[in-house]
Amino acid sequence: MKRICLLFLVVLALSCGKDAGQYMEEGNAYLRRGDMANAVAMFEKAVEADPSNHEAHNSLGAVLSAIGDFERALGHFQTAVAINDRFVEGHYNLGRAYAELGAFDDALLELGKAISLDSTYALAYLSAGDIFAFRKMNEQAADAYHGAIRFDPNLIQAYLRLSSVYVTMGEYDMAIDLLMRAGEKRPGDPEILSMAGRAAIMKRDFPAAVGFLTEAVVADSTDLLLRNDLATALMLAGRESEAVSQWREILAQNPGPDLARMATENLRRAESDTTR
């Protein structure tokens, strides 16, 4: 009789344990607090509680990816899509993990599966574009980034990366146009303005470059590289005295050795030009 009671108590204790959903809720709570270690622990318990739960595997893989453990993450994403091959997010995350590990063909295959399941999945187009751009497959990268913008017009990264592709292709007007569109969605953003300024320098439209870079410096006067770009644009626009002032201000801020060397050399040349 004692054995029967003991067995009953063990079964009762097991039946009162948490299920995968509860562990996932706790994992998400830890994630919101930025406690990655405990988030991993909770999602691991969710997977142990229900090994056939594709969302638990995906969540664990996502947290492992966030802490840079892509090898372990890859296995959980693979399990997630093996359990549910129509799991769009799982294919996307698996593609991202493959990309982080340098397996670009596998990455494109998984991202393609995500897009085939959801043709509006903007992030999948963005990630595919990144791979094509890394491989210098500019036309394919441009097509992918255009897809990302088409299905998420507020995805700023797609505008910036597509503009970089167009700069690489020598399509400066198209690059600047994209950056202007991005700037409408994020007014005064120094990164967008600086990219537009550099594209304008490459286009040899120096007055436009000065305009963009002046706005960028106003938005972030602490970025000495931005100030150096502005000084360069001023010099190219024939505004040598203003360029000299910018380089002097940069050197007064005690920049790092590389920028100090560059600014000193540029200042020497600019001062030489202004005294002719």
**Considering 88, 119, 150, which residue would you say is the last residue of a domain?**
119
73: domain CATH number?
1.25.40.10
Summarize pLDDT for 108-164 with one digit per residue, the tens.
999 999 999 999 999 999 999 999 999 999 999 999 999 999 999 999 999 999 999
* Domain boundaries, position 233: 188-276
Question: In this predicted structure, what is the pLDDT of residue 2?
Answer: 38
10 Å CB burial of residue 90 (0-12, 13-18, 19+) is buried
160 neighbors 179 (Cβ within 8 angstroms): yes
- Tell me if 171 is assigned to some domain: no
Q: Look at residue 152 in the predicted model and tell me its pLDDT.
A: 98
The answer to the question of residue 134 being in a domain is no
List Cβ neighbours of 229 (8 Å cut-off, separation of 6 or more). 194, 197, 198, 201, 213, 216
Q: Note whether residue 45 is domain-resident.
A: yes
In a domain, 262, yes or no: yes
Q: Contact 97/61 with Cβ under 8 angstroms?
A: yes
pLDDT class of 275 with cuts at 50, 70, 90: low
